[in-house]
Amino acid sequence: MKALTFSQFGDASVLEYKAVPIPVLNEGEVLVEMKAIGLNYADIYRRKGNYHLKGTPPYIAGYEGAGIVSVSNTSAYKVGDRVAFADVPFANAAYVAVPEAHLIPLPEAIDFATAAAVLLQGLTAHYLSEDSHDVQKGEIVLIHAASGGVGQLLIQMCKNKGAIVIGLSRDKTKFGTILHNGADYAVALQGDWKAEIMKITNGKGVAVAYDSVGSTLMDSFEVTRDCGHVVFYGMSGGDPQPVDPRMLMDTSKTLTGGDLWSYLTTQDERINRASQLFDWIRTGQLLLTPPVTFALSEGQKAHEYLESGKSSSKILLLPD
């Protein structure tokens, strides 16, 4: 089979589309013929050597995708079943071995591209709005990187729960995307943006700030009201400063860390959370920006496009 691989760390030029062995199945696994593969920043970090990788070179990145069961070593799934997954390694390939517990069955209303486009980022937005902080009607919510994949979905989920949403972005050209997804305000992460947040909230601050930037963590605390909540789930802008527990005590503010893998711990968790996403998509409560697609053999171009920051859509790799 063919796969998008790399044998050394570096920029997109290290990627090679080449023949590799088809995975050998263990008991309780199925072989999925891939139809759509989600490309994520984590794949770039792995290519650069910033994230842990399983196996030995040539490495195959990718953790998210959808396809058809071609061989089954489990009684729960049969050949021809339509499935997806969000947390299985070596996904940037024509075939992927997937443990039964990681499989998510696809309803007829959800096509392969939609599943590959929504799962990883949608499941992240789901736990952020339901578990990290259970968003309530009327709360003012601040979302960093609001034009990104998680940000767009998180805006919609918070709005569906009746929140007032402020979306932050470094790029004013992304304001249209933020507002199109339902945010009440779009604010540029430049100048005295904190004063603008305080003005919007009548000097009180937001109920919860979702911070995926990292370097802005203390700023997020500054614009969060007393007894409010900061959810820290990413470091796209660099490591945060240490948080003084005394500040948390004096202001009764709460800091929560967020990581998807802490929630996708069982088969039921994966299926139940994904089913909620699929239902929202089916009923129009969750809208996806049409994805940008590249052939798997064009992986270099896809990585470069994602790194350029030009897209406000999910990028998918389609096996040739």
Give ranges for CATH 3.40.50.720 in the chain: 137-258
What pLDDT was estimated at residue 312? Answer: 82
Which strands sit side by side in the sheet containing 254-257, from one edge to the other?
Answer: 185-188, 164-169, 140-143, 206-211, 224-232, 254-257
Residues 218-245 have a mean pLDDT of: 95
> CA-CA distances (angstroms) from residue 18 to 21, 58, 106, 132, 301?
10, 10, 29, 41, 16
Residues 86-104 have a mean pLDDT of: 97
What pLDDT was estimated at residue 80? Answer: 98
Q: How confident is the model at residue 96 (pLDDT cuts 50, 70, 90)?
A: very high
What pLDDT was estimated at residue 229? Answer: 98
pLDDT above 90 as % of the chain: 92
pLDDT above 70 as % of the chain: 100
What pLDDT was estimated at residue 79? Answer: 98
Mean pLDDT, rounded, of the chain: 96
Q: Which of 87-96, 230-239, 246-255 has the lowest mean pLDDT?
A: 230-239
Contact of 41 with 305, CB cutoff 8 Å: no
What pLDDT was estimated at residue 309? Answer: 79
Q: How confident is the model at residue 236 (pLDDT cuts 50, 70, 90)?
A: confident
Q: How confident is the model at residue 78 (pLDDT cuts 50, 70, 90)?
A: very high
What's the CATH code, domain 2-119+264-318? 3.90.180.10
Residues 2-21 have a mean pLDDT of: 97
Q: How far apart are CA 161 and CA 16, in angstroms?
A: 44
Q: How confident is the model at residue 196 (pLDDT cuts 50, 70, 90)?
A: very high
What pLDDT was estimated at residue 146? Answer: 96
What pLDDT was estimated at residue 221? Answer: 98
What pLDDT was estimated at residue 55? Answer: 80
CATH fold for domain 137-258 = Rossmann fold (3.40.50)
Give ranges for CATH 3.90.180.10 in the chain: 2-119+264-318
Q: 30 pairs with which residues across the strands?
A: 72, 98
What pLDDT was estimated at residue 310? Answer: 77
